[in-house]
Amino acid sequence: MAIFNSVRAYIYIYEGLQGVYNNDNLKYRITKDRLPIHEDAVIEIGEMVSDYLSQSYNGTVYNTSPLWVTVVAAFYDDVGVELNNSPKTYNYLALDGYGYFEEGINPELSTVVLQSNNTIYLEEGSAATIPIWAEETPTILVYNSSNVLSQTLNITDTGFSNQKVQYITLPTGTSKVIVDGVSEEKTINIIEVCENIYTPYRVTFLNRYGALQTITFFKKSNESMGIKDETFKGNILNVNNRNYSISEGQKTRYNINAQDTITLNTGYVEEDYNKVIEELLLSQKTWINYEGKTLAIIPKTKSMQYKTDINDGLINYTLSFDFAYDKVNLI
């Protein structure tokens, strides 16, 4: 009986329908031998697939299209002859999310609503957008400001990769939505905040589910600028008259640039916002709506004290972000 000795894996990454791929979609070809003490071989493809996943946000359009991944694995014995049960095909749908250590290896993160919090805080008169997992084919029950059912939305799954995550913008004045999927029902409460003193800032980030999520910081904000430069000392002596001008400095600046930073406050939020702030600080991609523009930012805050109603009473989070570019344009 032939014994498995090595595997040759062909990894296809593509858009569209599952299983509909061609040679142009072949991204990796990997060969791995079985270790003598093991009966199988393990190939970690997560980081490789992640290189092909992209997310973007321009202030209006949320883009986190998942991709299909098909792995065709051929198995060989110790003399290079392909085994009878070879090849085998494995299909996956990939998003750029992550699990936590305590959840174990490869946790299943899919849910009807691709966000952790059950409460959304909105600037008065604006509309909420929620990321929906279409494979659950959920029904969304929309309730108006009087808590009366005003609209029913039925989400369909076409099977195409770019339809798996759908961003649903709710009507202005929505007080709550009930998202009823195949395996789960989730209620999202929406609270409108009237802020007359400070300028609210909307921050959008890639959350742990691989979806984009927007939250609003309502309270006090501060902006600062950190400057970096270099100097050199030059010779200002005029050799002709053996003198120098005191209006000329010995030191000259060069490579001058700066980093803008903004510090934001959420305002008072519920305890389940711990999860939101956690995911925001861990996010790889973050944007802010700033002075009519959508700009990339990077969380500067590197630590988080989890807050609770019992310990802290009113919960407010203060976070700092660096704008993801130099002040002086060098492009």
pLDDT at residue 2 in the model:
67
What does the pLDDT profile of the chain (331 residues) look like in tens digits? 567 788 899 999 999 999 999 999 999 999 988 887 777 888 889 899 999 999 999 999 999 989 999 999 998 888 788 888 889 999 999 999 999 989 888 887 767 999 999 999 999 989 999 999 999 989 999 999 999 999 999 999 999 999 999 999 999 999 999 999 888 899 999 999 999 999 999 999 999 999 999 999 999 999 999 999 999 998 888 888 888 888 888 888 989 999 999 999 999 999 989 999 999 999 999 999 999 999 999 999 999 999 988 998 899 999 999 999 999 998 8
Tokens at residue 162, please? 């770019």
pLDDT at 312: 84
Query: How many residues would you count in the chain?
Result: 331
Q: Are 287 and 331 in contact (CB under 8 A)?
A: no
**Residue 36 pLDDT:** 78
Q: Give the SS3 label for residue 310.
A: helix
Based on its alpha-carbon atoms, the radius of gyration of the chain, rounded to whole angstroms, reads 27
Residues 6+ apart with CB under 8 A from 291: none
249 dihedral zone (left: phi>0; alpha: psi -120 to 50; beta): beta
